[in-house]
Chain A
Amino acid sequence: MRPIKLPTIPPSAYNPDRPANALLLAQARELEKAVRAAGRGVQAAKLRTEADVAAHIRHLNRALHHQVLLPAIKRKPVRPPEKQATRKQAASKAASPKRKPASASKRPRTVRKHGAKR
């Protein structure tokens, strides 16, 4: 039998800016609860898109694995991950010619406690 061709996928199929469906949101919230129940603080993240949820779930997943594998004394609170730029944001950033010199964006270093609000 001749190999059967797989359907092709247009680039437009990929849309991390798509609003997250109920399943993804439920999964993120339940993982948050599980991390809290395991005795580790977690800040609720504002989740809107699939990219938001994926980044948050990755973070919680890693935390949950560490929670199980680390002794309790080494466990640290979990902060939401830095948001990755969405496609739209990335495009608008690229289109903007103005950039501050590197020195202008420097800020004094601050020490942030684990779990402290930003």
Chain B
Amino acid sequence: MMENRSFDHMLGSLRAVNPNIQGFPATFSNPDTTGKEIKPEAKAKYQGQLDPDPNHHFAPVDEQIFNGTGSADMRGFVRSYFKQRKDVKNSHKILYYFKRDQLPVLTTLALEYAVFNRWFASIPGPTLCNRAFAHYGTSFGHVGMEMKYFGHSIKSIYQRIREAGQTTKLYYFDRASSTLELINLLEEQPQIFATYEQFLADCHAGALPAYSFVEPNYSDHDGLIASDQHPDHHVAEGERFIASIYMAIKSNPILWPTTALLITYDEHGGIFDHMTPPACTPDGFTAPKEKTGTGQPFNFDRLGVRVPAVLVSPWVPKGTIVNNVFEHASIPATATRWLLPNFTGNRTPREAAAETFLDLLSAPAMRTDGPDFQ
């Protein structure tokens, strides 16, 4: 799971390649603070452009979606970004998107395997609450950067899998980058954690666990460049990181036929997307208005902004485009359905209702035409 990029920003250019991939339409625009309508432009750079980091806490995302009106028309991105630097020209950069050839890894995998037209962040808010949905199917009522989820009866997907006697690992990049889940899971499950280096070794040895979650490098340190693609980290390094994972799996002829790789992003990072987030099954929690910052409580009954998501497997038919609505609760939902079909433990109504993606592995024969990266 990568960091802070929206679908239209990363994959919007693919509409020109295949009109069924729902990048922004030619009619999409946002008003700036002078009232001028601004259209997306293919001017995104790998680094040095989104300064300051676009705000993506709950209240600013609410503004990005609703633009201060009751209508979720996705027309508030430019105005929201303007507030950070009070610079009209700079605020237009929030509508910049990447050309296809700037992102050869993500765009190639999207075109070669399955791309999701409607994979949304779980919450219109920041990183940690969204990542929690990928691990638990809920954020336990949090809409911010809180990290502790002790004292709830809903177990993480790792705990569920281990209790069923199966294997799972959460691979973080290294100890200086760490993982956001260390706090919640270390005491109970220290053995689920491993590093990216171990991931590569496990791929080489054909020893991947039944379910793995891989986290990128979140910071520049010790001569290593951050690979999470969070602004202002170099986006191309994230491309190389994704390629390294894909190639590590694909290079092992035992792993490749039996492994599916999902690539997605935790949330949009304040960057534009044109598709209105839909309503969803509430997860049973409510965030009070003091936490949302909008003056209104939030019942977890609508999703966040759309993010890129690509499913890779030799069993995915080439050029698959998925139109059902997915979100991060689909990750534990899919793993539970696949590995624990008789699971009877607690999980949220949200996760129980989430779409799963195993049925996309539907090619009549295993494909042998997948791309390689070097």
A contacts, CB < 8 Å to B: 1, 3-9, 13-16, 18, 20-24, 26-27, 30-31, 33-34, 38, 50-51, 53-55, 57-58, 61-62, 64-65, 68-69
B178 contacts partner chain A, Cβ-Cβ < 8 Å: yes
C-alpha gap A30/B128 in the complex (Å): 11
> Which of A4, A8, A27, A55 is within 8 Å of B108, CB to CB?
A4
Which residues of B are found within 8 Å of A30, using beta-carbon distances?
145-148, 180, 183
The answer to whether A58 touches B220 (Cβ under 8 A) is no
Which residues of A are found within 8 Å of B105, using beta-carbon distances?
4, 6
Given known A6-B105, A50-B219, A68-B186, contact A23–B127 (CB-CB < 8 A): yes
Q: Which of B33-41, B117-125, B225-233, B351-359 contacts A (4 or more CB under 8 A)?
A: B225-233
B104 contacts partner chain A, Cβ-Cβ < 8 Å: yes
A45 to chain B, nearest CB (A): 13
Which residues of A are found within 8 Å of B59, using beta-carbon distances?
none
C-alpha gap A50/B223 in the complex (Å): 12
B371 contacts partner chain A, Cβ-Cβ < 8 Å: yes
Q: Which of B154-162, B236-244, B282-290 contacts A (4 or more CB under 8 A)?
A: B236-244
Band of interface residues on B? 35 or more
Given known A13-B237, A50-B221, contact A38–B372 (CB-CB < 8 A): no
The answer to whether B178 touches A6 (Cβ under 8 A) is no
> Which of B148, B186, B220 is within 8 Å of A18, CB to CB?
B220
Q: Which of A7, A16, A26, A69 has the most CB of B within 10 A?
A: A7
The answer to whether B221 touches A69 (Cβ under 8 A) is no
C-alpha gap A30/B178 in the complex (Å): 12
C-alpha gap A30/B124 in the complex (Å): 22
Which residues of A are found within 8 Å of B102, using beta-carbon distances?
7
The answer to whether B371 touches A53 (Cβ under 8 A) is no
The answer to whether A13 touches B148 (Cβ under 8 A) is no
Which single residue of chain A is at the shortest CB-CB distance from B369? A1
> Which of A9, A15, A62 is within 8 Å of B236, CB to CB?
A9
C-alpha gap A116/B187 in the complex (Å): 26
The answer to whether B178 touches A31 (Cβ under 8 A) is yes
C-alpha gap A50/B177 in the complex (Å): 10
The answer to whether B236 touches A8 (Cβ under 8 A) is yes
Which residues of B are found within 8 Å of A5, using beta-carbon distances?
104, 373-374
Query: A4-B373, A57-B177, A64-B183 are known contacts; what are 9 more A-B pairs with Cβ within 8 Å?
Result: A1-B371, A4-B374, A20-B219, A23-B3, A27-B218, A30-B180, A33-B148, A38-B187, A54-B219
The answer to whether A6 touches B373 (Cβ under 8 A) is yes
Which residues of B are found within 8 Å of A53, using beta-carbon distances?
219
B130 to chain A, nearest CB (A): 11
Which residues of A are found within 8 Å of B226, using beta-carbon distances?
50
14 interchain pairs, CB-CB under 8 A: A4-B104, A14-B220, A14-B225, A16-B219, A18-B232, A23-B230, A27-B180, A31-B178, A34-B183, A38-B187, A51-B221, A54-B177, A61-B175, A61-B178
The answer to whether B230 touches A21 (Cβ under 8 A) is yes
